[in-house]
Amino acid sequence: MTSTDDNRIRRNLVGALENSCRSPTDIHGLDISKMVQLFESFGYSCKPDGSMRGISGVLHNFDFVCTKLTTGEKLVVQSLLHFQGNDENLDVEIVKLRLSTYDCSPDVCLLIAGHLTDEMKQIAGLYRLIVIESSQANPFDQIESLLRLQI
């Protein structure tokens, strides 16, 4: 990387640095624009890489935080699609998600995963997480079906 004499990065290289992180169109395997468009079509304001402050005062991060414009209902989406075949890490992530949702108390929490064992599905059910498995069908279609049921 080249810089100027005062250690500033040259202007033409700033764009390369901004694009070097994660793909701007993807959050853990979910297309950002498609998710935002889907939720907005059902009357939600959808914020990718959103956060909510819990009762404890801690700021919790979620892949998507959606707010129903008419009622203020909070819906969070967390994707675990990036965990492939590591059930132990999935268990830990589900517990961490439960702690975050317990503190923030959103009305609905959607958990999107590639494949969960029956035991993990039961745990998610006890934690009041709605599980969407991408191995069964397109997660966007499943989310749309769930949103249609609420209307």
Average pLDDT per consecutive 10 residues, the chain (151 residues; last block may be shorter): 48 40 65 92 94 95 95 93 73 90 94 85 89 82 89 48
> Tell me, what's the pLDDT at 39?
94
> Tell me, what's the pLDDT at 114?
83
In this structure, the strands spanning 44-53 and 30-31 are unpaired
**Which CATH number fits the domain 25-150, given the four candidates 3.40.50.620, 3.40.50.10860, 3.40.190.10, 3.40.1350.10?**
3.40.1350.10
46: three-class secondary structure by DSSP: strand
In this structure, the strands spanning 59-68 and 74-79 are antiparallel
37: three-class secondary structure by DSSP: helix
* Distance in angstroms (rounded) separating the CA atoms of residues 140 and 149: 14
- Six token digits for residue 24: 């701007």
